[in-house]
Structure 1
Amino acid sequence: MEINTVGVVGLGYIGLPTAAILASKDVKVTGMDVNPATVEAVNRGDVPFVEPDLATYVSGAVQLGTLQATATPAPADAFIIAVPTPFRGNHEPDLSYIRAAAEAVAPQLNGGELVVLESTSPPGATQQMADWILAARPDLSLDGSDGRSVIHVAHCPERVLPGRVMIELVTNDRIVGGLTPAAAQHAKELYSVFCQGQILLTDAVTAEMAKLVENSFRDVNIAFANELSLIADRLKIDVWELIELANHHPRVNILRPGPGVGGHCIAVDPWFIVDAAPEQARLIRAAREVNDSKPEWVVDKVIEAVAGIENPTVVALGLSFKKDIDDLRESPARTIVAEVADRLPDGQIQVVEPHVDGLPPELANRRNVGLRNLDEALGAADVVVVLVDHGAFDQIRAADLGDVALIDTRGIGW
């Protein structure tokens, strides 16, 4: 299958890097996004979020004419769907973005195209996407039955780390699962354009589960570390020393605890497994509950630290879900800051987040929450709570804090 043109639906943290790296390989790429600001930024050669090296790829591809952005899909040989897959309030998967993307792409198909779902998805989502396409286009099929034209549908979950996306898109192994063997093979050919890692073929449901299992494995191990931090606090033990000592065992590698778990993947994906097999996924559910409860424990620590202080000032260091990025999705720091603001209506919560220019909506309109620079915030602090271990905070020394109470959820080690 010859693929000369690709449409990428969703120009977010995965879609735009994928579009840019394909375009850098002389593939003509049209990116589609419902956000006009994103479309305008890409067409100027700019990027709407922070990711090392991405701006160079985008600006170069736009100048060469191999990348453009639009508000609606255009015809292409292959389509990559990279839209959000959140969950609803009851932890059920929300596939509405995938459905909207499928129905937007359907009119552009003539038969013979490849459609790849790259969004992290619950088991069966790729088949569901295909069903939505075929419902809109009954003249098409997955197997050519009744003389209808064939489309090839596959799942290829992203496996990259924010901050290293442009490297790991190329170097990481990829899993490709097709609804048919032919679809898997065509998807492998597409990703072979830029992927230097091994491309492993399977069926679509196994590919969907593989990504969920990878992130659930991480979540369970983080939950163990977070639960250790609660136990160590109860027993008056330094959890960082405890973990360092335990990790000297040759077969022990305990992760570092934190204020919770954030990001669109690890904080979300395990719930897809729980939803698919609720009676069997007991450990996965328990890990999610441990990690989801950690922010409330941090809030309680902050409230304890300001007890007896009139109109206290709490400085929250970091708001993103991990260090040195601007991605605030599912960040436990956001939850903590909002809850502290609710419980200290007469206090001031000063947020230091060097990677963003403004607070998210749920914080921006609060009279007692503000975004400050580091020196200004520390000078007014009664309590400092480390929520993200950004490199920008490495300059701080414990002596700089004086008598200010410190709640260090990251083991930053000043």
Structure 2
Amino acid sequence: MTNIQTVAVIGLGYIGLPTAAILATNGLDVVGVDVSQRTVDAVNEGRVPFVEPDLGIHVAGAVSQGLLKATTETPAADAYIVAVPTPLRADKSADLSYIEAAARGIAPMLRGGELLILESTSPPRVTQYMARYILGMRPDLSLDGNDGKPVVLFAHCPERVLPGRVMIELVTNDRIVGGMTPEAGNLAKALYSRFCQGEIFVTDDVTAEMTKLVENAYRDVNIAFANELSFISDKVGVDVWELIRLANRHPRVNILQPGPGVGGHCIAVDPWFIVAEASHDAKLIRQAREVNDSKPLWVVDKVVAALSSVSVDSEVAVLGLAFKANIDDLRESPSIQIALHLAETLKSRRINIVEPFIDELPASLEVHRNVELMDAELAVKRSGVVVVLVDHESFKSLDQDLLLGKTIVDTRGVLRT
């Protein structure tokens, strides 16, 4: 199949829905598939069920033109893009159950000639696993056609966009396409060329899978260096933000900023896939993950220590739950880990949560009676200790008079004078 006209995008989350919308606004007939009826209903009404700048315009426009619709049932299509979660299991391996479920929905619809693209970030050879899984259910189809059966083409094309800039970076970023066969790679490149203005590089499927993991492991290692500097700076009594600012004046030094840990669906997860694949050799990658994973408890200890200098009934303001600034994405957020530890450790104190991008607390926090979601001004007024976990723009413009007399634990350098 050389002329793809219909695309089914399986999974309408932070990657799947933008991908579906951008394909539809570029003239393809797109059906989004999701297990959530709430998500399906929102998309069919032209609404976006999460915060992502400019996505709403694309979704509303594509739906109104009849180019995008959503359903809970997998349809027949010329191409399928699988964009479902691959969460970590307790043993740090990848949970492939969502990919398997997507495959079970796709398999009965195939007739031969379709292109199947796995966009979900995954360990090496998972695209091959998906292909075997589907062809195991459809022995009448083939990967290469050498047996005379109709061919199905498989490729991996990892997403590499930044939440908050997804609709820009989908178009402008370079893409890596890995085909299990040359034909699959070239057809996947042609599909992404419909909207991607960046350069599209074609390679094999395993290299494409590893490229995404390596990109995020590289970033994780660099963040770990900054976070480790925050530990050391605290011990020796220097301002880590000033230290990094001055060190970065060197022409060949570019240290990142520390934070409360690392969150999100990529950087906090993907390096473990490399460690699981090559545990003996991935020493630095493992150590970086452990440094970043240790940061939330270090922050909790700093808050508990800060409370020793205030009255026993002082409340705590926690500014931010998202894993990064100016979005509502709470996935793998270290801020939630910190808020949970504080709620459980400080049962006798009120924990005042501020997260301007959500309307209700996540269930894990909602169950704690000493936790309440409120606006920033009220939370700071009521609290003796203010903990900054996310550098939302609204926090940077807080009235400094509100902070007078407060004990501040600032993990983002937001309230530094």
TM-score, normalising length from structure 1? Answer: 0.99
How far apart in 1 are the matches of 2:76 and 2:413? 51
Q: Which residue of 2 aligns with 1:374?
A: 376
Following superposition, the deviation at residue 325 of structure 1 comes to 0.2
Per-residue CA deviations over 1:345-366 (Å, capped at 9, x if unaligned) read: 1001001100000111100111
Q: Which residue of 2 aligns with 1:189?
A: 190
Preserved contact between residue 82 and residue 120 of structure 2 (Cα < 8 Å): yes
For residue 150 of structure 1, give the secondary structure of its aligned residue in structure 2: coil
Per-residue CA deviations over 1:279-314 (Å, capped at 9, x if unaligned) read: 000000000000000000000000011126313311
Following superposition, the deviation at residue 398 of structure 1 comes to 3.8
Q: Which residue of 1 aligns with 2:117?
A: 116
Match of 1:384 among 383, 386, 397: 386
Per-residue CA deviations over 1:212-232 (Å, capped at 9, x if unaligned) read: 000000000000000000000
Q: Which residue of 1 aligns with 2:340?
A: 338
Alignment of 1:226 onto 2:227: yes
Q: Which residue of 2 aligns with 1:73?
A: 74
Alignment of 1:6 onto 2:7: yes
Identity of aligned residues (%): 62
Alignment of 1:19 onto 2:20: yes
Preserved contact between residue 86 and residue 121 of structure 2 (Cα < 8 Å): yes
Q: Which residue of 1 aligns with 2:238?
A: 237
- Opposite residue 409 of structure 1, the aligned amino acid is T
Q: Which residue of 2 aligns with 1:347?
A: 349
The Cα RMSD (Å) is 0.8
Preserved contact between residue 154 and residue 179 of structure 2 (Cα < 8 Å): yes
- Opposite residue 115 of structure 2, the aligned amino acid is L
Following superposition, the deviation at residue 397 of structure 1 comes to 4.3
Mapping of residues 144-223 of structure 1, within 5 Å: 144-223=145-224
- Opposite residue 96 of structure 1, the aligned amino acid is S
Q: Which residue of 2 aligns with 1:134?
A: 135
For residue 389 of structure 1, give the secondary structure of its aligned residue in structure 2: coil
Q: Which residue of 2 aligns with 1:283?
A: 284
For residue 147 of structure 2, give the secondary structure of its aligned residue in structure 1: helix
Q: Which residue of 1 aligns with 2:39?
A: 38
Preserved contact between residue 261 and residue 334 of structure 2 (Cα < 8 Å): yes
Greater shift after overlay, 376-385 or 307-316? 307-316
Match of 1:325 among 317, 324, 327: 327
- Opposite residue 27 of structure 1, the aligned amino acid is L
Greater shift after overlay, 395-404 or 228-237? 395-404
Preserved contact between residue 377 and residue 402 of structure 2 (Cα < 8 Å): no
How far apart in 1 are the matches of 2:379 and 2:242? 29
Task: Identify unmatched segments of 5+ residues in structure 2.
Answer: none
For residue 69 of structure 1, give the secondary structure of its aligned residue in structure 2: strand
Following superposition, the deviation at residue 376 of structure 1 comes to 1.0
Following superposition, the deviation at residue 399 of structure 1 comes to 3.5
How many residues of Structure 1 are paired with residues of Structure 2 in the alignment?
A: 414
For residue 353 of structure 2, give the secondary structure of its aligned residue in structure 1: strand
Following superposition, the deviation at residue 375 of structure 1 comes to 1.3
Preserved contact between residue 381 and residue 402 of structure 2 (Cα < 8 Å): no
How far apart in 1 are the matches of 2:392 and 2:375? 14
Q: Which residue of 2 aligns with 1:97?
A: 98
- Opposite residue 334 of structure 1, the aligned amino acid is I
For residue 176 of structure 1, give the secondary structure of its aligned residue in structure 2: strand
- Opposite residue 127 of structure 2, the aligned amino acid is T
Task: Identify unmatched segments of 5+ residues in structure 1.
Answer: none
How far apart in 1 are the matches of 2:159 and 2:337? 26
Preserved contact between residue 213 and residue 271 of structure 2 (Cα < 8 Å): yes
Following superposition, the deviation at residue 60 of structure 1 comes to 0.4
Preserved contact between residue 10 and residue 80 of structure 2 (Cα < 8 Å): yes
Per-residue CA deviations over 1:155-214 (Å, capped at 9, x if unaligned) read: 000010000000000000000001111100010010000000000000000000000000
How far apart in 2 are the matches of 1:407 and 1:117? 42
How far apart in 2 are the matches of 1:399 and 1:46? 39
For residue 52 of structure 1, give the secondary structure of its aligned residue in structure 2: coil
